[in-house]
Amino acid sequence: MTTTSLERTRAALQAIADAGAEGARIFTQVYADTALQAAAAADARAAAGICLGPLDGRIVSVKDLFDVAGETTTAGSKVRHTAAPAERDAVIVQRLRAAGAVIIGKTNMTEFAFSGIGINPHYGTPGNARDAARIPGGSSSGAGVAVARGMCEIAIGSDTGGSIRIPAALNGVTGFKPTQARVPREGAFPLSFSLDTVGPLSRSVLDCAQTDAVLAQQPWAPLVPRTVAGLRVAVPRGLLFTQTEDQVLAAFEQTLAGLRAAQVRTTDVNLDAWLGAPFQLQEQGTLIAAEAAHIHRELLAAGQADQLDALVLSRIRRGETITAAHYVGVQQARAQLQTQLDAALADFDLLALPTVPVVAPTIESLDDADTFHRTNMLVLRNPSVFNFYDLPAVSLPLPRAAGELPVGLMLVGKRHGDRELLSVADAVQTSLTA
């Protein structure tokens, strides 16, 4: 980069300020003074030949479910507006600071991270970066918009059913969901103990890889150089391609054709026995709903339910009806299915499919509760499968003509093969932008 951290931080703060009321919907907190101080310190280190790592001086936002010492963690909810300030930073915030990152603020989100749409009636809904009348995707709504609009270079989000990859896809940026155990969640307000993961959104796979190294507290080493030629890519035709809009499918097929021209070996595969299993197993209730009902049990018992977004509350209430027998049965089946899908994918380097089967719909079109829930289920469908199977996945923005809405390409790797997936995704991204 040719500009200093201080110059870039000032530009990012100006972008937030220039957005006016929209900036306040994207960020719930802006740390202008401390960000400028951190940027100046990073520049001083650089001048002295000192570097704390790949994120030293980089501008980073964090989703408002991560604790920042002295600040209230709202998790997108009005009921937490008066909660006691956090006593200490979340572990990932501690690691970012130690790595020299410039934390510019907290980004808005869906209440309690419980939706893939990104609408928030309490703190406002950030408009899509390409068209503010459209949804940003959730639940890391402000994160995706902030990166796309140049308000930060890297955003830290959480992903329980697609909450990093959905806003990345709908706003035209890159998002990475790691294997769950890779990044600690201490100091993050939970949605689902079984499925929550922590990862970055940014402009590039390289930025995501560098951020992932910091979040996972691993020494940074350059990604192993890869070429796309010879990659073995499985395309899971079937369930996850249904209800896909024509423009999304056209962008995906055009990309696939380009990869084949670059000697990628693609194979259409039928994995519906596994990819459909998470939905079949959870018809009577999901792991997320059951665990959310447990997490919010005191709030509901205290009679504060009427202060929640009704669309979020209905999903939490659904969790109260789930029996222990059903919950345990899903968890047992999940463990067995993970091993089976691992074996089915053994001969491939990765899976490739659309991240989300639709482009961002307008906010107004989702006013009706039934339409909202149908759309929410659809945008969560593809990414949520790979939370269930705990596989690392990245969403890459596909090339689009002027005026076309963003479309994401999801690449899925093998459990604990996060670095390998990032190396391959970097090669694919380079091929797409060549």
Is-catalytic flag, 63? yes
Strand order in the sheet with 197-202: 27-30, 102-107, 59-63, 154-159, 197-202, 174-177, 393-397, 408-412, 350-354, 232-235, 265-268
Dihedral of alpha carbons 409, 288, 422, 342, sign: negative
| Active-site entry in 5, 77, 115, 163 | 163
Q: Can you tell me the distance from the alpha carbon of 137 to that of 265, in angstroms, rounded to the nearest whole number? A: 32
Q: CB–CB of 286/381 below 8 Å?
A: no
| Active-site entry in 5, 61, 63, 384 | 63
| Active-site entry in 77, 139, 140, 384 | 139
Q: CB–CB of 135/170 below 8 Å?
A: yes
| 111 secondary structure, DSSP code | G
Please report, for residues 151, 422, 426, the alpha-carbon distance to residue 213 in angstroms, rounded to integers and kept in the order given: 22, 11, 15
Is-catalytic flag, 423? no
Is-catalytic flag, 163? yes
- Stated as kind and residue range, the H or E segment containing 158 is strand 154-159
- Stated as kind and residue range, the H or E segment containing 2 is none
Q: Is the peptide bond before 139 cis (omega within 30 degrees of 0)?
A: yes
Name the residues annotated as catalytic: 63, 139, 163
